[in-house]
Structure 1
Amino acid sequence: MSKKAKKYTFRKFINDAHLWLGIGSGIILFLVCLSGTVLTFEEEIKALFVKEFVVADASGSPLSMKELAESLSKEGIVSNVIIPAETNEALKFSVKTSPQERRGTTYFVDPYSGEYQKVQKSNLDGFFLTMFKMHRWLLLETEVGRPIVGVATLIFLFMAISGIILWFPKRIKWKNFKPGFKIKLNANWKRINHDLHNTLGFYASIFLVIMSLTGLFWSFEWYRDAGSKVLGTKVFGNRDGGPKFESALKPGTTEKTFEEILQLTSAEFAFKGETTITIPAKDKEVYTITKNNHSRFSPIITDKLVLDRDGTLLHKELFAEKPLNVQIASLIKPIHMGTIYGTFSKIIYFFACLIATSLPITGTLIWINKLKTKKSKKKQPAFV
């Protein structure tokens, strides 16, 4: 008597799609996730391999910003300065060595002695650049690698969601849920491998969905446009720095010193945090200031201030007063990179990416083990 054919259920379809899409994109997903894991702590790792610039003595009075800028003038044009929240840390000046240079070169400056040091290149700069290119383009040409990574990310998004569906047991009872929360370390290697894939994948799934949804903004213009429509504001639409302001000062008007501009900034933003000030070099240019608040939930969120050279307030932009949709759009990059909550979120993202890197391996092993089991069953003699 022939066995009754099993019904092809929705769960079976999800399982098959999860399996074959995973097998087909496994190598690409492994490389993208591996490079993403490495890039999580890029700055911290690179800092270990360069000599730290130490402020010699923070007990005296700091030099004026004019004096510090003049000491750097032989290197080029000072374009902006980053003032740390702590007084015992070095200032960071950006110096343009040529008019064509966009961002300038960073110099660490001791505010008390005036000594400075050009930012040192790490021996790992080339390695991390390679990891970045692999993460974004698989080391291929941008036009080729970007859509490949984009399609792989779409597959990864589906697999993260389908993985959550498959994690749920067929019968919704607590005793059926319990095995999905833990790894049975005293079992054989096949069971351990299955638990590593199933359990760790479940714990990391929400972060993998977030990474995928945000990462697609860099891969596809249509996705970026669709996301902008959904949010009601342009994603990555503020890359040029927003509206432009020009100085309205008349010739002969007394201009504020840098220290006076800094005092006005402290009055407007009366909180502790890192301050970045763009220094005007031409007559029509103004001071553009951003400052973050160390007491906020996120250390990367900044408020913005634009002051004319005489201290007149031209523009004030508080992150907390922005509409929610604008806030979300401006946080897509730090959400994707895991910098949204500083070191805390970067640690979480590191382990989530590490798990994501392991999923193509553990998933492939599960598939191979199932193939071996099917072959062994076929070899067994049939009893009539």
Structure 2
Amino acid sequence: MKLKKLILSLHGWIGLISGLVVFIVSITGAIYVFEKELFAYFNPNYCQVTIPKATPVLPLSTLIENAQQATEHPITTIRLPGSDEQRQSYIFESRKRRPKNKAVGLFIHEDIIYWDRIFVDPYSGEVLGKVDVKKDFFLIVRQIHQFMYLRRDVGSFIVGSSVLLFTLTMISGLILWWPKNRKLAVKRMKIDMNSKKKRLNYDLHQVLGFYSFSVALLIAATGLVWSFKWWEGSIYWMLDGKRLSDKSIVAPPLIEVRQNSSKASTLDAIWIDVQRNYQQHQGAYLNLLPEIQQANATVHYNGRTWWSASDTYAYHLQNGKQYFKHLQNEKTLGMKWLDSNYDIHVGKIAGFPGMCIAFIASLICASLPVTGFFIWYGRKFKRKKTKANLF
């Protein structure tokens, strides 16, 4: 009995300490689950295009030239839609961030020097719009979610510590909830909507907490990867039996930089080569590194497994020839997990139903500190009122 009182006390105080951060992180996380879908819904003119009859997609070199005219900064990445998403625009980005160890100021947005996102119609070549990502609503939501909008080293520690404490409250809550018999278990798994406010609040706290336990624990575990390197390394070691530093792909050779070399002239050859190998894919990502005359292409596809499947290739940016590749079937279990961690975190690994589950679980996680606070406050208020009545 004393042990249960101790657990109850720890459960309450840990919840109070981490509650506000957990509430904010959970709400922003729920929003960000559908970030891509929400952006497309509110900006259809940027994301959706009309396919003209008998009009092929323009060469990538032409599209990047048009996108480059919309920004004064060099294009560094290209996001291409999946083979079944022909009505979507191509996205070109130019961005530059300060190194992680050279953070300035107190807030995370100061790490970004510039970040432009340009949407281009692949059939007409028209620039549909440009977004200053630094001021974009969804990036701000993510920065709050990951760092409480504080600089990276400070914010990640606050969020990570709060999520760790939240994990402890979930485990201790399950211990407190666990019934002595089956009859009591059935009772504790139901919410009586006709009960009084205090009882209803208590039921919402414990019943919703029970039903969301496994998903909330998974979301917390995958989220801690971005807060603590030791956590990421520990999971990687459990899966691979190696230290995280051992997972690195052998670095491809540097390419000698030549003057007046044109990246646009070889992009077409690179993209044609990618399409030749992947007639069906779920999207591709081209990362341009002109300082070493290299272009990295990552192609996502349905690997018919629970992991997020992707292959990565390195090309000469001067001649478009491929000289390095890292395929999904060559990855270790730890590498597959690292590549899939984000999709697991937001439920995308299980498709749209998984995203809905992650969304609902995030909202429930946001409600737990609120209902828990009212339980704590009600007990304290009742105790003080009882003592006052004695005098």
TM class by smaller structure: 0.7 to 0.9
For residue 57 of structure 2, what is the aligned residue in structure 1? 62
Report how far residue 356 of structure 1 moved: 1.1
| Partner Cα separation in structure 2 for residue 174 and residue 275 of structure 1 | 51
For residue 165 of structure 1, what is the aligned residue in structure 2? 175
| Partner Cα separation in structure 1 for residue 388 and residue 61 of structure 2 | 85
The alignment status of 1:40 with 2:33, answered yes or no, reads yes
The alignment status of 1:116 with 2:127, answered yes or no, reads yes
TM (norm. structure 1) is 0.77
Question: Alignment partner of 2:373: what SS?
Answer: helix
Contact 2:78 2:93 in 1 (8 A): yes
Write the letter of the residue equivalent to 2:225: F
Select the residue among 263, 273, 279 that pairs with 2:282. 273
Question: Alignment partner of 1:195: what SS?
Answer: helix
Write the letter of the residue equivalent to 1:345: G
Give the 3 Å change call, closer, same or farther, for CA 50–217 of structure 1 in structure 2: same
The 5-angstrom pairing of residues 71-82 of structure 1 reads 71-72=66-67, 74-75=69-70, 77-82=74-79
Q: Which runs of 5+ in 1 are unaligned?
A: 1-6
Pick the structure with more helix per residue: 2
Select the residue among 210, 219, 224 that pairs with 1:211. 219
The alignment status of 1:317 with 2:326, answered yes or no, reads yes
Give the 3 Å change call, closer, same or farther, for CA 204–285 of structure 1 in structure 2: same
Question: Alignment partner of 1:120: what SS?
Answer: strand
Question: Alignment partner of 2:86: what SS?
Answer: coil
| Partner Cα separation in structure 1 for residue 36 and residue 278 of structure 2 | 28
Question: Alignment partner of 2:314: what SS?
Answer: strand
Give the 3 Å change call, closer, same or farther, for CA 243–362 of structure 1 in structure 2: same
Give the 3 Å change call, closer, same or farther, for CA 258–120 of structure 1 in structure 2: closer
How large is the Cα RMSD of the aligned pairs? 3.9
Select the residue among 75, 83, 91 that pairs with 2:80. 83
Report how far residue 379 of structure 1 moved: 7.8
Contact 1:245 1:285 in 2 (8 A): no
| Partner Cα separation in structure 1 for residue 80 and residue 243 of structure 2 | 30
The alignment status of 1:31 with 2:31, answered yes or no, reads no
- Structure number, greater radius of gyration: 1
The 5-angstrom pairing of residues 247-258 of structure 1 reads 258=267
Contact 1:233 1:329 in 2 (8 A): no
Q: Return 206-215 or 330-339, whichever deviates more.
A: 330-339
Select the residue among 360, 364, 367 that pairs with 1:351. 360
Write the letter of the residue equivalent to 1:182: K
Contact 1:197 1:359 in 2 (8 A): yes
Give the 3 Å change call, closer, same or farther, for CA 294–23 of structure 1 in structure 2: same
Contact 1:300 1:339 in 2 (8 A): no
Give the 3 Å change call, closer, same or farther, for CA 292–145 of structure 1 in structure 2: closer
| Partner Cα separation in structure 1 for residue 336 and residue 376 of structure 2 | 43
Give the 3 Å change call, closer, same or farther, for CA 58–235 of structure 1 in structure 2: farther
TM (norm. structure 2) is 0.76
Contact 2:117 2:131 in 1 (8 A): no
Give the 3 Å change call, closer, same or farther, for CA 94–204 of structure 1 in structure 2: same
For residue 189 of structure 1, what is the aligned residue in structure 2? 197
| Partner Cα separation in structure 1 for residue 380 and residue 66 of structure 2 | 71
Question: Alignment partner of 2:349: what SS?
Answer: coil
Contact 2:300 2:309 in 1 (8 A): yes
Question: Alignment partner of 1:108: what SS?
Answer: strand
Give the 3 Å change call, closer, same or farther, for CA 293–299 of structure 1 in structure 2: farther
Aligned length: 363
Give the 3 Å change call, closer, same or farther, for CA 289–219 of structure 1 in structure 2: closer
The 5-angstrom pairing of residues 193-342 of structure 1 reads 193-231=201-239, 232-233=241-242, 243-246=251-254, 258-278=267-287, 281=290, 285-294=293-302, 296=304, 301-308=309-316, 312-342=321-351
Give the 3 Å change call, closer, same or farther, for CA 105–235 of structure 1 in structure 2: farther
Contact 1:339 1:346 in 2 (8 A): yes
Report how far residue 354 of structure 1 moved: 1.0
Report how far residue 202 of structure 1 moved: 0.8
Q: Which runs of 5+ in 2 are unaligned?
A: 97-111
The alignment status of 1:20 with 2:13, answered yes or no, reads yes
Write the letter of the residue equivalent to 2:52: A
Write the letter of the residue equivalent to 1:136: Q
